Amino acid sequence: MYWQDDKEDKPFVVPENVLDLLFQIDCPTLPVDHAWLLQREIRRVLPWFGQGPGEGLHIIHGADSGNGWERPQAAAELLHLSRRIKLTLRLPQARIDAAGPLSGARLDIAGHSMRIGVAKPRKLALTNILYTRYLAGPETGDEELFIAWAVEQLQSLGVRFKKVLCGRRTTIERPEGALQTRSLMVADLPYPDAVRLQEQGIGPHRALGCGLFVPQKSF
């Protein structure tokens, strides 16, 4: 028997429409709750940041644990950062060059100095399980309502998935009032849909790190 299919299966290649731009940093310590302060300093150097679709800031998280060390949770506590930690912006490819002035800048985050070094772009992840630590949605405190809202947001993107799990609640402080967020995991995504979710995210406040999806155990 001779059998030939009309189409050959080709591996999925992650497009480069949206990228993560990783900056080396020299910053020994940061407050745990630094999202608003950090995005304000970034906007001082890059006034356009956070105004367009696909532009977001990954909150610097550090390690959850290691050698008995547990990441502090209180907003005023300090993160002690290793030199391996990066400042990461998610940007459309067309904005990568415009972010160049951030390299060489010195930021002041509540008295904590951050010197920004060279940057390197990285393609979005090829994975079928994604996670966001901070998702700003309904603030009722009802987990089922939050999940129903998240499912509706995902479906509006045309994203196919089989599992959604809601997790930890976190507060991000802002001058206009505290922002309540939850973590969310989305699993069993086809690769094209996982890339679309990383490119677009869901919910508001990308410049504060909300609604940006990464592989589990990333950042």
Q: What is the pLDDT of residue 1?
A: 47
Region label for 65, one of left (φ > 0), alpha (ψ between -120 and 50) or beta (otherwise): beta
Q: What is the pLDDT of residue 160?
A: 96
What are the structural domain ranges in the chain?
A: 18-123, 129-215
pLDDT mean by block of 10 residues, the chain; 219 residues: 54 95 97 96 98 94 52 72 95 98 97 98 97 91 92 96 94 95 97 97 97 81
Domain 18-123 matches domain 129-215 at the CATH topology level:
yes
Closest CA to 48 of 96, 86, 98: 98
**Assigned token pair, 174:** 């802002």
Give buried/exposed letters for 92-109 (b at 16+ CB in 10 A, else e): beebbeebeebeebebeb
What is the Cα–Cα distance from 93 to 91, expressed in whole angstroms? Answer: 6
Residue 80 near residue 31 (C-beta atoms within 8 A): no
CATH class belonging to 18-123: alpha beta
Q: What is the pLDDT of residue 61?
A: 84
What is the Cα–Cα distance from 77 to 63, expressed in whole angstroms? Answer: 15
129-215 folds as Alpha-Beta Plaits (3.30.70)
Q: What is the pLDDT of residue 74?
A: 61
